[in-house]
Chains A and B, each alone.
Chain A
Amino acid sequence: MKKRIDLFSQRISSKALIDYLRKIRTYSLYSFVGLLGVIVILSGIYVYFSLRLNNLSDKRNTYNRYIVLNTPFVQDLRRFAVKFSLLKSMLQDDARSYTYYKHLITIVSLAPTNGTITSFKIDSTQKTEFTIHFASYEDAIAFIEYSETAAFLDQFLNISLNEFQISGDGDVIYELMYSGSFIKLP
């Protein structure tokens, strides 16, 4: 069993006391060296952190200066952003009638028959109604066949032939009336 030394024991001997002091001094010396090492390391870390902080402060000041210098531009930019986002949202709600009318002309022109668009309606949700007229019954039938192909159907979300009208006394005209929705164009 390890012998314990009690400083305040009256039975303690002078020699044990001296040994004990020696041990304390030795340990203190080691601790001193160790603590000095820790201080050196911590001081190094402190210096590194300080330099890094100075560096970051310089960076922050540079950015701040740039931002302050550009404050009028930023104010203009923010004012710009408000109206520009309004402009874009309004354009999103636009029917783009001319674009879709041109698109319809292209779709009709791809048919094997010559049809003429006589009426066209479109709204901002791309919902459309249009009438195409033909000079002959065969042309109208050929267009109906074309309207059942992918080339025609792929241009619409939904499309239906509402009416096939034959009118006129001398020159008979054949009209196909469609309604549906275009696929949104980019």
Chain B
Amino acid sequence: MLKKKLIALIKSKLFLPTALYVVIDIVLLVFIIFIFFTCYDRYSEIKSREVEIEDLKLSADLIKGNKDLMQENVEYYNELLDKLIPHEENYFQVISALNRLENETGAIIHSYSINLNETTEKKLSLLLTVGGDEESIADLLERYLYSSGRLITNGEVTVSFDNLSSFSFAINMIHIPKEDVILPDVVIIKEDDILLLEKIGREL
């Protein structure tokens, strides 16, 4: 009986279009699910691409900003910095720098001793005994940073103006071995930095 009814149902002229609609609906539904997931994939890809582009844009902007500031002078600045902070340190370089400091300022370096407490692997700390006339001492105190051809910083100075023939002047010199140079990922150069380097360049 059931079989007969089913056969009658199938043979009904309404069955075929109805079944066709149902099948088409199912196909469309599957298609919609497919498109939905494809769209979702695209959306996820867009989001991750936007993040990637944001990072790239930041890098590109940094490069552009730094390039504009440096005006293609980065090699000159690196040469300048290599002079100020060499990769190697040896006795002759130190003596040469001290000689140049004397010649440039007119001050006389009577003696020097190594301050072992302050000296590290990369920093050489020396205690100088310096003398000279008022003008040369003033010149030394004003220009010691770069006039030796490399960076010399002053840790401490004790001057007695009654006796300028001998006073103590503590200096620091640094170097950084090439293998110790850890390059940073992000570099932001400011206008003041360039002005400082230009000033140093003029003083060297």
A interface residue numbers (CB < 8 A to B): 7-8, 10, 12, 14, 17-18, 21-22, 24-25, 28-29, 31-32, 35-36, 38-39, 42-43, 45-46, 49-50, 52-53, 56-57, 59-60, 63-64, 66-67, 70, 73-84, 86-87, 90-91, 93-98, 101, 116-124
Q: Is the CB of A94 within 8 A of B153?
A: yes
Which residue of chain B has the shortest Cβ distance to A91 in the bound complex? Answer: B153
Q: Is the CB of A87 within 8 A of B12?
A: no
Kindly list chain B residues whose C-beta atoms are within 8 Å of the C-beta of A77: 63, 66, 70, 74, 187, 189
Q: Is the CB of B187 within 8 A of A28?
A: no
Contact with A along B1-16 (1 / 0, CB 8 A): 1100100110010110
Kindly list chain A residues whose C-beta atoms are within 8 Å of the C-beta of B162: 118-119
- Asked, given contacts A46-B39, A81-B187, A82-B176, whether A64 binds B155 with beta carbons under 8 Å apart, the answer is no
Give B99 Cβ to nearest chain A Cβ, in Å. Answer: 21
Q: Is the CB of A64 within 8 A of B56?
A: yes
Kindly list chain A residues whose C-beta atoms are within 8 Å of the C-beta of B82: 83
Q: Which of A46, A59, A76 interacts with B74 by CB under 8 Å?
A: A76
Pull 17 A–B residue pairs with CB atoms less than 8 Å apart, ordered by A: A10-B2, A18-B14, A31-B21, A36-B28, A39-B28, A42-B32, A57-B49, A59-B53, A63-B53, A81-B189, A84-B189, A87-B84, A116-B161, A120-B157, A120-B159, A121-B156, A121-B157
Count of residues in B whose CB is under 8 Å from the partner chain: 72
Q: Is the CB of A78 within 8 A of B154?
A: no
Q: Is the CB of A78 within 8 A of B57?
A: no
Q: Is the CB of B81 within 8 A of A28?
A: no
Given the complex of chains A and B, what is the CA–CA distance between A87 and B145 in angstroms?
11
Given the complex of chains A and B, what is the CA–CA distance between A171 and B159 in angstroms?
23
Give A69 Cβ to nearest chain B Cβ, in Å. Answer: 9
Give A60 Cβ to nearest chain B Cβ, in Å. Answer: 5
Given the complex of chains A and B, what is the CA–CA distance between A14 and B74 in angstroms?
92
